[in-house]
Amino acid sequence: MSYVTAIASEDSLWRALESFLLLRDYNTRVVVLGAVLLGAAAGLIGTFMLLRKRALIGDALSHATLPGIVAVFMFATISGMDAKSLPLLLVGAAGSGLLGILMVLILRNSTRIKEDSAMGIVLSVFFGGGIALLGIAQRMEQGHSAGLESFIYGKTASMVASDAMLIGLVALCAAGLSMSFYKEFRLICFDESYARSQGWPVLLLDVVLMAMVTLVTVIGLQAVGLVLVIALLVIPAAAARFWTNRLWKMLVIAATAGALSCYVGTLASAMLPDLPSGAMIVLATSLVFALSMFLGPAGGLVHRYRTYRKLQRKIARQNVLRAIFELVEHGIEDTGVPQHIPAVSFEAILTKRSWNRRHLARELRRCQSGGMVVHMGDHHWRLTTEGLAEARRIARQHRLWEIYLISHADIAPSHVDRSADMIEHVLGEGLVAELEAMLDAGKKATPPASPHSIGGKESGDVAHA
């Protein structure tokens, strides 16, 4: 390619991008609007299906639509009707899909087959039957079956204004039903047994939810195809789960993620015509999911790692303070004056736990920067007044756990220290108060004696500053 041709090609690409972003072309407006509405509706309904633990129902439903599409095409061809009428084909898809879901329910409720196995059976049998019927339809002399394959892989670019209007109608219907039955759907998603005990029509609500899934699945066949439509039902909802724990926020985020994915996917397909739009939409949803999995504030990997690191630093700080306190607790004059708090050597602290020198030195510096300890020189450290109060609290909490485990969990005193150490750092104030009441500890600030120490004392290298 010459330099001039390359410049012209690049200029053409930018003009195409500008035209798409500004929606100047009529067909572009139709396709983008239809795809975005489909993504929003799928994200909205998929959230309830995900929380209901029935995400793969949509997969079985989508694959079960193929024999209905082909059967209606063959019947319309023989009857002399318009065999390529989209509403007619979608009616066949809906009927076949509902039959597939009915078969799943029959197999699950009338046999010993589990729901996942039933979905696998229905999915494979119906899809195999659809492929067989498609082979027969392609050999028919009366009609021309070209284009039916688009329902398998999707063809967003072939969308017309009536298709976009149909998708918009279904999206509005899905949003309206979601708002109307928000309380009921939330209840059956999180506590179905309670809903049944309170007399809620769980079966009827499930039917309404499945009808919404069927509508979204059927209208999504032309855009992304029956193989990939499950991605729009599952991935945006799964991505939203990383951002929030509130249902209404999750619904908004899932709908936004679905709409954004469809927009980006259609944009990529428009810029690179050789790439199928359905596949690009699914790849865009996968990108949204990957970003959510890493960056989501309610369960993303980065958030979980930061939380884990924060907890590890908290545990290390508490262990250092408790180790120093256990070395000096019997030599403290409880006056609150820092000069009366004994100092302990680095070596004495090191022997309290399985630290290495570098790790202990780093944690002591962190405690010093937090105002909990001061360096007295000659490798000796002393608790500050604030550090002493915090160390007392930590030691008391640890020993309450030790007493509880010895008294109620039958753990030997020689082994209780490690068991208590694994759980003491996540105690809430309410649980501490409950343990105090159980052990008649009252509201004393002084920690009880260590239940596994010899004679109630533990030796250490203590120096008075």
Q: How confident is the model at residue 9 (pLDDT cuts 50, 70, 90)?
A: low
Let me know whether 217 and 343 are in one domain.
Answer: no
- Number of structural domains (the chain) is 2
Q: Torsion angle, CA of 91/96/101/106, rounded to 10 degrees?
A: 130
**Domain end among 299, 327, 350:** 299
Read off the pLDDT of residues 113-141 as tens digits, 9 standing for 90 and up: 888 888 889 888 998 998 888 888 877 76
CA distance 308 to 331: 36
Q: What is the pTM of this model?
A: 0.75
Let me know whether 321 and 292 are in one domain.
Answer: no
Of the two residues 275 and 302, the one the predictor is more confident about is 302
Mean pLDDT of 342-370: 88
Q: How confident is the model at residue 3 (pLDDT cuts 50, 70, 90)?
A: very low
Let me know whether 254 and 396 are in one domain.
Answer: no
Classify burial at 445, counting beta carbons within 10 Å of its beta carbon; exposed 0-12, middle 13-18, buried 19 or more. exposed
Q: What percent of the chain has pLDDT over 90?
A: 14
Give the three-class secondary structure for 76.
helix
Q: How confident is the model at residue 465 (pLDDT cuts 50, 70, 90)?
A: very low
Let me know whether 94 and 187 are in one domain.
Answer: yes
Q: Which domain holds residue 66?
A: 3-299
* Close Cβ partners of 50 (under 8 Å, ≥ 6 residues apart): 234, 237, 238, 241
φ and ψ at residue 364, rounded to 5 degrees: -65, -40
Let me know whether 264 and 333 are in one domain.
Answer: no
Tell me: pLDDT of 461 over 70: no
Read off the pLDDT of residues 165-180 as tens digits, 9 standing for 90 and up: 878 888 888 888 888 8
Mean pLDDT of 221-250: 87
CA distance 464 to 341: 8
Contact between 415 and 442 under an 8 Å Cβ cutoff? The reply is: no
Cα of first residue to Cα of last residue in the chain, in angstroms, is 82
* Close Cβ partners of 385 (under 8 Å, ≥ 6 residues apart): 336, 337, 338, 341
Core vs surface per residue 242-257: b (16+ CB within 10 A) or e = bbbeebeebbbbbbbb
**Domain end among 299, 328, 344:** 299
**Domain end among 269, 299, 329:** 299
Of the two residues 282 and 6, the one the predictor is more confident about is 282
CATH number for the domain including 310? Answer: 1.10.10.10
Closest CA to 209 of 177, 180, 231: 177
Let me know whether 151 and 286 are in one domain.
Answer: yes
Q: What's the pLDDT at 432?
A: 62
